[in-house]
């Protein structure tokens, strides 16, 4: 299950793990004009872990989801 919310400066996507136990904590992705953050609560440390992605990294990630194993370089956008 997931939710999508449009806020003032970001689109927030929350992914809820509904698979078999053990379940993972919700994953929150905040999408901004210049990139994204991915956040997940870590119950072992009691803290939320945050990863920042640039817009370039986010585009590469989207492409990588549909490609086979290998090394790739995106062509320049000129």
Cβ atoms of 61 and 47 closer than 8 Å? no
Report if residue 22 sits inside a domain: yes
CA angle 59, 72, 31 (to 5 degrees): 15
Report the pLDDT value the prediction gives residue 78, as an integer from 0 to 100: 57
Residue 16 located in a structural domain:
yes
- pLDDT confidence of residue 73: 86
Looking at residue 77, what is its pLDDT?
65
User: What is the mean pLDDT for each group of 10 consecutive residues in the chain (78 residues)?
Assistant: 94 93 94 96 97 95 90 78
Domain limits for position 50: 2-64
Asked if residue 22 has a cis previous peptide bond (ω within 30° of 0), the answer is: yes
Is residue 70 one of the residues assigned to a domain? no
Partners of 50 in the beta sheet?
39
Tokens describing residue 11: 């689109």
Decide if 76 is inside a domain: no
Report field, pTM of the whole predicted structure over 0.85 = no
Nearest Cα residue to 25 out of 5, 47, 52: 47
Number of domains in the chain: 1
- Domain contains 7: yes
């Amino acid at each position: 299950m997931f939710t999508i919310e449009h806020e003032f400066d970001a689109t927030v996507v929350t992914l809820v793990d509904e698979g078999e136990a053990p379940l993972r904590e919700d994953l929150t992705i905040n999408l901004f004009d210049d990139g994204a953050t991915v956040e997940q609560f870590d119950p072992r440390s009691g803290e939320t872990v945050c990863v920042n992605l640039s817009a370039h990294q986010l585009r590469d990630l989207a492409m990588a989801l549909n490609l086979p194993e290998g090394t790739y370089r995106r062509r320049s956008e000129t």
